[in-house]
Every structure is written in C-alpha cells, then in structure tokens.
Amino acid sequence: MNPHSVCLIGCSLVLTTLAATAQAETTPVPYHYGMPMDIQKVISMTEPQTRDCRVIEAQITFVDKAGEVRQVSYKKLSEACLFQN
C-alpha cells in the first residue's frame, strides 16, 4: 500500500468514529404534537423489545434539511401489539 491509500483509510476510520460518537452523545428531544421535523434522511429507528402490548418510548435518528443529525423520542404501541388480540 502506498502512503496516500493508508492516509485515506485512516482518515475515513477517524471520521466514521467521530460520527458514531457524536450520534451516540446526542440526547433525544421528546416529540410534541405539531413539532416540525424536516426529515431529509432517516438513519435509524429504535425501540425497546417487550413481549407485552404497551406504550413504549421509541427513538428516531435522522438528518434534517439543514444537514444536522437529530434524535427525537416519541410514544407508540410496542410491536407485541401486532400479534395480540
């Protein structure tokens, strides 16, 4: 490998690590009705796993139209509700 390739690989690893760290340190903002979100691209949607049908707090991580990564938490029924009567 030439030095240029090593530098590019190293830089990409550093940037990936910084992006993941910045994403992990972001505290989700609770959603409120009518809150503008301006979602450009969804990065992830997470929720706690449960066997019970109940209201849970889920999170969405996205890039807004200004290019900033945002996290919003919101209430929803758990996935277990899909399989229970």
Q: Where are the domains of the chain?
A: 3-83
Query: What is the Cα 4 distance to its own chain's centre?
Result: 33
What does pTM read for this prediction?
A: 0.64
Q: Over range 21-43, report the average pLDDT.
A: 84
pLDDT band at 65; cut points 50, 70, 90: very high
Q: Over range 54-80, report the average pLDDT.
A: 95
Structure token digits, residue 34: 């009518």
The amino acid sitting at 84 is Q
- In the block, residue with structure tokens 């991580």: 61
DSSP 66: T
The third-level CATH classification (topology) of the domain covering 3-83 is Spermidine Synthase; Chain: A, domain 2 (2.30.140)
Poorest-pLDDT segment among 38-42, 58-62, 68-72, 80-84 = 80-84
Q: What is the DSSP string of 42-54?
A: EEEEE----SS--
Structure token digits, residue 36: 């503008």
Residue 5's pLDDT is 55
Q: Which residue has the higher pLDDT, 38 or 6?
A: 38
Q: Which residue has the higher pLDDT, 16 or 60?
A: 60
Report the distance separating Cα 56 and Cα 50, nearest Å: 9
